[in-house]
């Protein structure tokens, strides 16, 4: 691996990006988040410590790494302030001077959460099952060219005017949605002006900063949140998040040329999970799914919701490998499959009797596909914490080789536990 590296999720998020970014960032000068917001929950474990990051890049635990939150991220300033406080208190890490936030980040305001709740309620059965962080409505305002940005926090008077005009519009929308209350702009303007004061020392033109670092020959790791199947353009729309989670988002989200992305690594679980609603062809609703959930502790890092669990979905992962042109894949949580005598892998989707040649764009098609499985032999012994390929049982090696052949992508790392050192490097 040379130059700059993008790390992206291959599935519907929670693939273990946080763990892998933390490990890889040792070899980089900077880790930059390019999209998403505090809907993300990236877990990093080392020693006997475990910390979940939401906005702060997962390079923060490597002392020499500079961290950047790029303009493609939507920022809830209070969430960032609280996350900084938590990391200072719990992990004794001083972030100011190491963490830079783009002055172009769009802001999440309290009314975004209110709107999201109202819309999800209206959708009823068709709701997306969002993280309720206001992500979607904040990106809507960005694209609608009426959003507020971090740079707007720097002048209290203009901020007050912008918030007042935005709230007036939101109150009209909420009224149309039969929302029982109206929003008062004044307390929002007061608190956001205070957040602006607190964040002043973090705010920078991060595009300039990154381009400057690259001119000096420094190496950047681009950290994706969510996963390719949650990407606004390429995911299982409309059951997606509202940002560009795939590798294409790196350039627009950070204000750097696509020429600067040299390598793309995808993170995939050895099986599949999904939080929230939407089609999930290999979902296992029986005791197998339950076993994966229990063994893998598959509960959301951000919302605590139980994750839906199922077998490795080959066609979906192969589609993600293509979208990102993955140079390699890191397979995580293979230890979770230790107990199974047989492990099915989905190798094709059948729809109305025929095998589909491409990953369907239409959610109603994806909901109706019938997965075609190849059954792999289980290893039925604990591989938790293994650090060497040669120590893996033959059946586990076969499973990983099959994944790699199927994806036409080499496996560069295998993760056998949550901790930094529970990793096989290939
Ligand atoms: P992210 O959003 O992609 O960073 O992933 P999350 O942190 O939301 O979810 C991954 C979960 O799996 C976390 O609780 C990790 O500590 C844990 N984890 C990561 N890799 C492994 C692994 O190889 N084995 C096991 N058992 N747990 C892992
Ligand atoms: P990390 O970075 C898993 C899902 C939500 C919902 C959909 C839209 O930890 O992998 P949103 O709040 O973004 O509008 O919700 O996207 N979702 C995630 N699922 N991991 C995440 O992040 C997610 N971030 C959003 O559950 O289905
Ligand atoms: Mg997560």
Residue by residue, pLDDT tens for the chain (426 residues) are 679 999 999 999 999 999 999 999 999 999 999 999 999 999 999 999 999 999 999 999 999 999 999 999 999 999 999 999 999 998 899 999 999 999 999 999 999 999 999 999 999 999 999 999 999 999 999 999 999 999 999 999 999 999 999 999 999 999 998 888 899 999 999 999 999 999 999 999 999 999 999 999 999 999 999 999 999 999 999 999 999 999 999 999 999 999 999 999 999 999 999 999 999 999 999 999 999 999 999 998 888 889 999 999 999 999 999 999 999 999 999 999 999 999 999 999 999 999 999 999 999 999 999 999 999 999 999 999 999 999 999 999 999 999 999 999 999 999 999 999 999 999
- Tell me the pLDDT tens digit for each residue of 393-419: 999 999 999 999 999 999 999 999 999
Atom of ligand 1 nearest to the CA of 267: 3
335 given a catalytic annotation: no
Atom of ligand 2 nearest to the CA of 14: 10
Catalytic residue among 29, 38, 42, 152: 42
Contact 38 CB / ligand 1 (< 6 Å): no
> 18 alpha carbon to ligand 3 midpoint, in Å?
8
Cis peptide before 238 (omega within 30 of 0): yes
Contact 130 CB / ligand 2 (< 6 Å): yes
Contact 243 CB / ligand 1 (< 6 Å): no
pLDDT at 302: 80
42 given a catalytic annotation: yes
* Vertex 222: Cα angle to 220 and 223 (nearest 5): 135
> 150 alpha carbon to ligand 1 midpoint, in Å?
31
DSSP 270: S
Atom of ligand 2 nearest to the CA of 301: 9
- Tell me the pLDDT tens digit for each residue of 369-379: 999 999 999 99
Ligand found nearest the CA of 273 = 2
> 133 alpha carbon to ligand 2 midpoint, in Å?
10
pLDDT at 301: 81
Distance between CA 150 and CA 109 in Å, rounded?
Answer: 11
Contact 131 CB / ligand 2 (< 6 Å): yes
Contact 276 CB / ligand 2 (< 6 Å): yes
pLDDT at 1: 62
pLDDT at 147: 97
Distance between CA 276 and CA 274 in Å, rounded?
Answer: 7
Which protein residue has the closest C-alpha to ligand 1 atom 16? 418
> 23 alpha carbon to ligand 2 midpoint, in Å?
23
Catalytic residue among 14, 29, 76, 152: 14
Contact 141 CB / ligand 1 (< 6 Å): no
pLDDT at 184: 97
How many other β-carbons are positioned within 10 Å of the β-carbon of residue 363? 15
Contact 298 CB / ligand 2 (< 6 Å): no
Distance between CA 333 and CA 330 in Å, rounded?
Answer: 10
Q: Enumerate the β-bridge partners of residue 296.
A: none
> 377 alpha carbon to ligand 2 midpoint, in Å?
32
> 152 alpha carbon to ligand 1 midpoint, in Å?
36
Which protein residue has the closest C-alpha to ligand 1 atom 18? 418
Distance between CA 399 and CA 263 in Å, rounded?
Answer: 25
How many other β-carbons are positioned within 10 Å of the β-carbon of residue 90? 10
Q: Which helix (H) or strand (E) holds 290?
A: helix 287-295
Question: What tokens appear for 249 in the block?
Answer: 């988002």
Scanning 7-76, the segments in alpha helix (DSSP H) are 17-24
């Amino acid at each position: 691996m040379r130059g700059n590296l993008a790390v992206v999720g291959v599935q519907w998020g929670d693939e273990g990006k946080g763990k892998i970014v933390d490990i890889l960032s040792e070899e980089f000068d900077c880790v930059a988040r390019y999209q998403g917001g505090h809907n993300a929950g990236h877990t990093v474990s080392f020693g006997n410590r475990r910390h979940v990051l939401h906005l702060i890049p997962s390079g923060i635990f490597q002392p020499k790494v500079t961290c950047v939150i790029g303009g493609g991220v939507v920022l809830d300033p209070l969430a960032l302030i609280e996350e900084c406080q938590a990391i200072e208190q719990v992990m004794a890490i001083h972030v100011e001077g190491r963490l830079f936030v783009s002055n172009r980040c769009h802001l999440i305001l309290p009314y975004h959460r209110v709107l999201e709740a109202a819309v999800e309620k209206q959708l009823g059965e068709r709701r997306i099952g969002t993280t309720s962080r206001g992500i979607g409505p904040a990106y809507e305002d960005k694209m609608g060219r009426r959003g507020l940005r971090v740079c707007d926090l720097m002048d209290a008077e203009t901020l007050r005017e912008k918030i007042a005009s935005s709230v007036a519009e939101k109150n009209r929308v909420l009224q149309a949605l039969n929302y029982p209350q109206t929003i008062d702009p004044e307390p929002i303007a007061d608190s956001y002006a205070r957040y602006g004061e607190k964040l002043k020392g973090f705010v920078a033109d991060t595009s300039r900063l990154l381009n400057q670092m690259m001119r000096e020959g420094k190496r950047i790791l681009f950290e994706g949140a969510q996963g390719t199947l949650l990407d606004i353009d390429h995911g299982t729309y409309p059951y997606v998040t509202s940002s560009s989670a795939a590798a294409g988002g790196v350039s627009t989200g950070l204000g750097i040329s696509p020429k600067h992305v040299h390598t793309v690594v995808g993170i995939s679980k050895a099986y599949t999970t999904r939080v929230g609603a939407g089609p999930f062809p290999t979902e296992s609703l029986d005791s197998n799914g339950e076993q994966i959930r229990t063994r893998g502790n598959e509960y959301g890092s951000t919302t605590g919701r139980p994750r839906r669990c199922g077998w490795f979905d080959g066609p979906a992962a192969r589609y993600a490998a293509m979208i990102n042109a993955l140079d390699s894949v890191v397979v995580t949580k293979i230890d979770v499959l230790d107990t199974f005598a047989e492990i099915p892998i989905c190798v094709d989707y059948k729809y109305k009797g025929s095998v589909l040649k491409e990953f369907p764009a239409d959610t109603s098609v994806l909901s109706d596909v019938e997965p075609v499985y190849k059954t792999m032999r289980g290893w039925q012994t604990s591989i938790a914490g293994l650090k060497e390929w040669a120590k893996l049982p033959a059946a586990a090696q076969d499973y990983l080789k099959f994944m790699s052949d199927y994806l036409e992508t080499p496996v560069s790392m295998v993760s056998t536990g949550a901790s930094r050192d529970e990793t096989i490097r290939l």
